[in-house]
């Protein structure tokens, strides 16, 4: 192959990459595996997942997925990870994306959505970069990001935007409520702030005072980036209606819509914005149009700032999205309908309320925040979290997410979640097992 393209050796092929950008050693990268070896490895990994009774949320949520969703997604007409390259030849795919965009605008209450992004974390990073482009009154490139935003989203946003000169500054939260502190905002009075990120519900499952936060930002010339769980939008106020003017950019992870947990991915990201900022929005957009004979059809639109045209100055250089997962989300939403999605959201809230009630009745367990929540909650324990989670796992229960690593100041804190996929009996089983473990430890 090297001879065919006229390169004397592999080194010559990579010559144009500047030396300082090249990795000299591939130490730590294992040798290749053949297909059989890969299958064996993957089966072994999949077996490790098992089928535990899962009470972990923390950004990825176990929901019931109607069997028809993946039966439809797996059809050959849909089965590709990419938005099509010969786009207009694939009218069915374009129409599906158009329907998806329409659903996202309906859920978020904004005017225009793109054809999806890579995942929730990179969508937050893209939103920060977009806000800096869109807010032309601000020159600080400063984005305020509360500590109540998912820690992984913050880390990815920092990694993806730091090199482009963005300043991501964290805001403290109130220990009593788990909400972003107004005092933390007061420190920025009179300063140039480009955008404020607000996650609703936040990483603790707590509902933020989104109206007041949005109005604070807008009154100071900052844009508002909303990070939301799409299922929660069936019962919560859409970001387009936050405060006086609504959020400017809305992003999130689409996984709760029809995507299985599958050991952590792939999932998909979504993004919507106001029409005013459509030209600063990264990703592809499908538009509805008419052909020469006046018949309706679908087409990629507003491509002039995409990387195949604008190269290094494109609105984004993340080259891929998760087209197949986005299609799963679209089919899931179509099957559930607005009423179905609302029932899912309400069932999640009710089940989580039951879970928090049952667990916090146990001696040594209490709820951290009394604030209104969606389907997650923080529990404070009277002993270290990790050994308890290990003991629960030994009984087939994944008891929650240990907050100790990301939020050591909370002490022995556990983030729990119950979706509609958990039954009342599941909740009772968890409470029973935890009660026994706490007693055993006390006797010992």
Residue 313 interacts with other proteins (CB under 8 A): yes or no: yes
| Burial classification of residue 170, based on how many CB atoms lie within 10 Å of its CB (0-12 exposed, 13-18 middle, 19 or more buried) | middle
Which is closer to other proteins, CB of 12 or CB of 304? 304
Which is closer to other proteins, CB of 306 or CB of 426? 306
Instruction: Pick the binder of other proteins from 237, 288, 305, 395 (CB under 8 A).
Output: 305
Looking at 163-235, list the stretches that DSSP marks H as alpha helix, in order from N- to C-terminal side. Answer: 182-186, 210-219
Instruction: Pick the binder of other proteins from 304, 319, 338, 424 (CB under 8 A).
Output: 304
* Cis status, amide bond into 266, omega within 30 of 0: yes
What is the rounded end-to-end Cα distance, in angstroms, of the chain?
68
Name which of residues 116 to 145 contact other proteins (CB under 8 A): 136-137
Segment near other proteins (CB under 8 A); pick from 102-110, 228-236, 265-273, 304-312: 304-312
User: How many residues sit close enough to other proteins to count as binding (CB under 8 A)?
Assistant: 8
Residue 311 interacts with other proteins (CB under 8 A): yes or no: no
Smallest separation (angstroms) from other proteins to the CB of 141: 14
Residues 341, 231 contacting (CB under 8 angstroms): yes
**DSSP character at residue 206:** B
Smallest separation (angstroms) from other proteins to the CB of 286: 16
Q: What are phi and psi of 365, to 5 degrees?
A: -130, 130
Segment near other proteins (CB under 8 A); pick from 79-87, 148-156, 308-316, 342-350: 308-316
Which is closer to other proteins, CB of 80 or CB of 164? 164
**DSSP character at residue 373:** B
Provide the β-strand partners of residue 167. Answer: 142
Which is closer to other proteins, CB of 312 or CB of 408? 312
319-342 exposure pattern, b = at least 16 Cβ within 10 A, e = fewer:
eebbbbbbbbbbbbbbebeeeebe
Which is closer to other proteins, CB of 37 or CB of 164? 164
Smallest separation (angstroms) from other proteins to the CB of 309: 6
Which is closer to other proteins, CB of 47 or CB of 137? 137
Binding mask 262-291 for other proteins (x = CB under 8 A): -----------------x------------
Segment near other proteins (CB under 8 A); pick from 6-14, 309-317, 375-383, 397-405: 309-317
Contacts of 35-40 with CB under 8 Å at 24 or more apart are none
* CA atoms lying within 13 Å on the CB side of residue 39: 3
Which is closer to other proteins, CB of 45 or CB of 310? 310
Residues 208, 198 contacting (CB under 8 angstroms): yes
Task: Please state, in angstroms and rounded to a whole number, the distance separating the CA atoms of residues 236 and 239.
Answer: 9
Crossing angle of the two packed helices 323-360 and 91-108, in degrees rounded to 10: 30
Segment near other proteins (CB under 8 A); pick from 92-100, 305-313, 326-334, 343-351: 305-313
Smallest separation (angstroms) from other proteins to the CB of 279: 6
β-bridge pairing 397-398 and 53-54:
parallel
In sequence order, the 6+-apart residues with CB closer than 8 A to the CB of 230 are: 104, 107, 252, 254, 256, 257, 270, 329
Residues 193, 222 contacting (CB under 8 angstroms): yes
The token pair at 23 is: 């990795």
Smallest separation (angstroms) from other proteins to the CB of 305: 5
Smallest separation (angstroms) from other proteins to the CB of 114: 16
Among all chains, which residue has been given the structure tokens 């920060």? 128
Instruction: Pick the binder of other proteins from 2, 74, 159, 309 (CB under 8 A).
Output: 309
Segment near other proteins (CB under 8 A); pick from 68-76, 84-92, 143-151, 303-311: 303-311
Residues at the contact surface with other proteins, assessed by CB under 8 A: 136-137, 279, 304-305, 309-310, 313
């Amino acid at each position: 192959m090297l001879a065919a393209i006229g390169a004397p050796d592999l080194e010559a092929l990579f010559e144009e990459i500047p030396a300082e950008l090249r990795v000299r050693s591939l130490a730590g990268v294992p040798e290749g595996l053949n297909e059989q070896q890969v299958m064996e490895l993957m089966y072994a990994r999949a077996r490790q997942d098992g089928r535990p009774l899962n009470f972990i949320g923390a950004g990825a949520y176990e929901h019931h997925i109607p069997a028809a969703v993946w039966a439809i997604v797996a059809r050959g007409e849909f089965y590709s990870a990419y938005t099509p390259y010969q786009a207009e030849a694939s009218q069915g795919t374009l129409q599906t994306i158009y329907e998806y965009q329409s659903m996202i605008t309906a859920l978020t209450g904004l005017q225009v959505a793109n054809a999806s992004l890579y995942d929730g974390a990179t969508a937050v990073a893209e939103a920060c970069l977009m806000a800096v482009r869109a807010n032309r009154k601000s020159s600080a490139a400063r984005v305020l990001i509360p500590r109540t935003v998912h820690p992984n989203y913050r880390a990815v946003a920092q990694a993806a935007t730091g090199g482009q000169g963005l300043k991501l500054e964290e805001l403290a939260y109130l220990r009593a409520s788990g909400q972003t502190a107004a005092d933390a905002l007061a420190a920025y009075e009179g300063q140039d702030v480009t955008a404020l990120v607000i996650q609703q519900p936040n990483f603790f499952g707590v509902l933020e005072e989104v109206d007041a936060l949005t109005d604070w930002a807008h009154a100071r010339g900052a844009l508002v980036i909303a990070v939301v769980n799409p299922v929660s939008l069936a019962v919560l106020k859409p970001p387009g209606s936050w405060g006086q003017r609504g959020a400017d950019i809305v992003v999130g992870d689409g996984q709760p819509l029809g995507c299985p947990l599958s050991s952590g991915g792939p999932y998909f990201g979504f993004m919507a914005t106001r029409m005013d900022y459509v030209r600063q929005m990264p990703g592809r957009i499908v538009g509805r149009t008419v052909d020469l004979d006046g018949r309706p059809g679908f087409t990629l639109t507003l491509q002039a700032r995409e990387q195949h045209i604008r190269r290094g100055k494109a609105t984004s250089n993340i080259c891929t999205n998760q087209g197949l997962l986005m299609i799963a989300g679209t089919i899931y939403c179509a099957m559930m309908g607005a009423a179905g999605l609302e029932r899912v959201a309400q069932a999640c809230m009710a089940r989580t309320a039951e879970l928090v009630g049952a667990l916090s009745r146990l001696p040594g367990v209490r709820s951290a925040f009394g604030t209104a929540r969606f389907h997650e909650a923080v529990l404070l324990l009277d002993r270290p979290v990790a050994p308890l989670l290990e003991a629960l796992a030994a009984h087939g229960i994944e008891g929650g997410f240990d907050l100790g690593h990301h939020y050591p100041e909370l002490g022995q804190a556990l983030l729990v979640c119950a979706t509609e996929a958990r039954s009342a009996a599941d909740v009772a089983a968890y409470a029973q097992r935890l009660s026994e473990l706490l007693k055993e430890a006390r006797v010992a």
